[in-house]
Amino acid sequence: MDDTTPVHANPGYPASRLLKELATAAAHDDPAVRRAAERRAATWRRVAAGMASGLLSVGSRTPVRGLPAWVTPEVAHGGFATGEAAAGGPLRPHELDLVRRHGLREDRAALYAHHLTEAGLEHLGALLDSGGYAVDQPEQAALLTVVWLLRAGDTAAALRLLAELDPFAATLCLTPRPAPVRDLPPGAVFRYSVREVRDTLAAVAARGSGAPGVQQEALAVWNPFADRVLAHWLETAADGGTGVDAHRPDGWAARGAALLDEYGRLAAEHTLCTKHRRPKENLAILLAALREAVDPAGSGVLGARRRGLLRCAVAAMTAKRGVPGSAGHAELRARQAGQAALPTYDVLAALLAERLSALPENSGVPDPDAALAPVSAAEARDSGAAAGSAIPGPLRARVEKAVIAPPEDLVELGVVPSAEVLAALVPALAAEAQSAAVGDPAAARLVAANHEAFARRRSLLLLHLASQVRQGELPWVRELERHHGSAEVRREAARSVIVRVGDTALTCFPGTITPNPLVSELNGLARTAEGRVPPSQVDFPFVEELASDIFMGTFSAKFTRAARRAAEVVEGTLYARYYGIDCARVFALEEKRSGGEQTFAGLCRERAGDPPRTVPGNGTVIEQAQILTTHNLAALVAAGSRPRDGWEAAARRAHRTTVRLLGALPRVYDALAHVKNAAFAWRQTVFLLSRCTPREQRAVLAWMEEADPPYHVRERLAPALAGLRAAVEGHTLPARGDGEARRFLGWTVGRHWMLDIAPEALLRNRHRF
């Protein structure tokens, strides 16, 4: 297949996903899972039907016939458009509320006409001024923009915008959802909203007490009852301590019968804990012997086996906890009684949900200490929980996921555990930067809300190097941008966010490549920071991770520019020596083929050994592109980002990621994927190490070589470490890097050398796993 061969999306993929969801919907045990599968099946049914009818052109940036690029499409897994507009569908609750309040016809055309009346414009103006709205889809900012433009006196812009909206007024929701005002401190973000946390807490409350309730029932009900049954049997022990059931005092049988009656009542009332029902448990053995001893139809004499079991159970219980009434036993039961008095999770979850109800549901938790304070006296009266009860760790963790704080603090709290989660928080920071130059507060809020909504727009599957729709293509964004204030303020705010996000990624997640959602935000910020909206002119572009299964053998011009800029950063460094990068050839690359000049794609293919056009072969080419561009590390460095505790510490953390990933081998389902991710972490390590001084490089390398990972990890890493040692000493590895010193690459055509360790060597060293 050459570069001109047409490539189309495979219609078999949606069909296979549809069949999979239908099977889940029909056979899964969980009703909630079945319902979710039914919804996904309906989505894939629309995709398959749209592709078959010609409604959909999967792979195009305008995949739905009749919808312009600015309309947000509904997108299924893998980037397949369904044929529906994300802002379309049935009327939303806030639209239905307006229909009822104003007696309108129940369709969007009537709502659109109403919004352009004096009453409708007044309603939108009130939302605009208060900031009490939420934009779920970018289209919902459109009519608010019309109102702002009219107020600013730019009637021509408002009319141009309405002319673009008119053809879709009957199908798209163009107004925001009323919501509480969200007022965040500058630079602060949150991962989950108050509403999301309250929903999870409500689910915990609805499930009941669960495991904590079982434990509390055992401590409060069954342990004291078992003590009484044990004490009752101890009355039958001989004075010489020869064991229980040596004699039976007067009235003992009657008291035993009363205990059995009490057991029946307790078992009927307290059903969470079932341990007492297990025949081999000590309490069950004591009760079985007691039934036999007081049975009026029997002789009352225990058989030898029953007596033996009874005496073993009594001996075990007294040896473990002491005799009921003794000092040690009394102290233990007092502690357990205190634990049993603690409120159960369901009670505390309901209490926390009630506390959070006072906060805006579309924002986070500004004061977690107040939200997680011990139960107050007033709350104790209302909930039945003991005053002063602390909130247990699992419930605290749910609330802390909604804490409002700078992203760096959220990483330290464990709320942001990965670069992927960090990427989900960046749109809020980017929105703040985008609105920094907007002087009018109402317009600034609108710009920020639209930016966050656009960031949630799912990426499409694109072919032939097509680019995703950019925010500046939305007509309401385009018209409003003309009224932005100082461009320098906006550029400085964008630069600040890039550096800040880069610092956090390099410090906290140095072994993880930049995820695509974060790349998208960084590119938008880079265009703003450089004052260049056309992406083709951005000096330090950030590049996406490409999918090898749809790779067409070529790269966009952005990759060439990224490689040239990266070469400026890595020329003459450890990184260039280890990966054998000829920076002069990179500087000479042409963005498009011109005469005999080599393209970036050609250089990547040459470095990969001219592999076949298969998924693994494509992967080797893409990996070479990541090596030449440093997959955004050089761009972050050029922007000014640095690990907060230095390059050496970041390199050590990245190496630990490599070791952790290789440590899972070979006991993982997809071993090659682990090897690939480990190679990516290794590449990050080499780059970070190349920023260190020679002394630091030698120190880190010695630390790597002296570390004591499991044997199979050490064996797999040995060739890569030998190659790194050669590069640190100033040598350039051979083109393929085979033999004792290797370049550690993730993709390969055929079996990966990392998976080839002699079985006998593993057996000899199995004690080291």
Assess whether 215 and 331 both reside in one domain. yes
What's the pLDDT at 766?
A: 43
Alpha-carbon gap, residue 105 to 111, rounded angstroms: 8
pLDDT band at 422 (very low <50, low <70, confident <90, very high): very high
Decide if pLDDT at 338 tops 80.
no
The residue from 55, 85, 115 where one domain ends is 85
User: Residue 691 burial (CB < 10 Å; 0-12/13-18/19+)?
Assistant: buried
Find the mean pLDDT for residues 404-414.
Answer: 94
Assess whether 296 and 215 both reside in one domain. yes
User: Residue 440 burial (CB < 10 Å; 0-12/13-18/19+)?
Assistant: middle
pLDDT tens digit sequence for 100-148: 999 999 999 999 999 999 999 999 999 999 999 999 999 999 999 999 9
Q: Using the CB atoms, write b or e for 447-472: b if 16+ within 10 Å.
A: bbbbbbbbbebeebbbbeeeebbbbe
Rg over CA atoms, the chain: 34
Decide if pLDDT at 719 tops 70.
yes
What's the pLDDT at 74?
A: 94
Assess whether 31 and 132 both reside in one domain. no
Per-residue tokens: 458? 């799912």
Q: Looking at the domain assignment, is residue 515 inside a domain?
A: no
pLDDT band at 755 (very low <50, low <70, confident <90, very high): confident
Assess whether 330 and 372 both reside in one domain. no
What's the pLDDT at 212?
A: 57
What's the pLDDT at 94?
A: 96
Q: Looking at the domain assignment, is residue 434 inside a domain?
A: no
604, 755, 754, 626: which is closest to 683 by C-alpha? 626
User: Residue 516 burial (CB < 10 Å; 0-12/13-18/19+)?
Assistant: middle
Alpha-carbon gap, residue 623 to 625, rounded angstroms: 5
What's the pLDDT at 768?
A: 37
Assess whether 234 and 334 both reside in one domain. yes
Assess whether 296 and 377 both reside in one domain. no
Decide if pLDDT at 535 tops 60.
no
For residue 178, give the DSSP letter.
E
Q: Looking at the domain assignment, is residue 502 inside a domain?
A: no
- Domain count of the chain? 6
Q: Looking at the domain assignment, is residue 480 inside a domain?
A: no
What's the pLDDT at 495?
A: 92
Assess whether 635 and 654 both reside in one domain. no
Instruction: Compute the C-alpha angle 592/593/597, nearest 5°.
Output: 120
Per-residue tokens: 691? 């920023």
Q: Under a CB-based contact definition with an 8 Å cutoff, are residues 154 and 481 in contact?
A: no
Assess whether 132 and 66 both reside in one domain. no
Decide if pLDDT at 10 tops 80.
no
Decide if pLDDT at 666 tops 70.
yes
725, 760, 753, 759: which is closest to 739 by C-alpha? 753
Q: Looking at the domain assignment, is residue 532 inside a domain?
A: no
Q: Looking at the domain assignment, is residue 430 inside a domain?
A: no
What's the pLDDT at 424?
A: 92
Assess whether 577 and 592 both reside in one domain. yes
Q: Looking at the domain assignment, is residue 137 inside a domain?
A: yes
Assess whether 201 and 350 both reside in one domain. yes
| Higher pLDDT among residues 439 and 2, named by residue | 439
Decide if pLDDT at 285 tops 70.
yes
Q: Looking at the domain assignment, is residue 701 inside a domain?
A: yes
Q: Under a CB-based contact definition with an 8 Å cutoff, are residues 165 and 68 in contact?
A: no
pLDDT band at 335 (very low <50, low <70, confident <90, very high): confident
Find the mean pLDDT for residues 399-404.
Answer: 94
Assess whether 569 and 660 both reside in one domain. no
pLDDT band at 529 (very low <50, low <70, confident <90, very high): confident
Residue-range definition of the domain harbouring residue 554: 539-642
Assess whether 295 and 327 both reside in one domain. yes
The residue from 311, 340, 369 where one domain ends is 340
Decide if pLDDT at 763 tops 50.
no
Bridge-partner residues for 405, per DSSP? 189
| Higher pLDDT among residues 8 and 744, named by residue | 744
Bridge-partner residues for 178, per DSSP? 133
pLDDT band at 762 (very low <50, low <70, confident <90, very high): very low
What's the pLDDT at 482?
A: 87
pTM of this prediction?
A: 0.79
* Amino acid found at 257: A
Decide if pLDDT at 375 tops 80.
yes
pLDDT band at 345 (very low <50, low <70, confident <90, very high): confident
Mean pLDDT score across all residues of the chain:
88
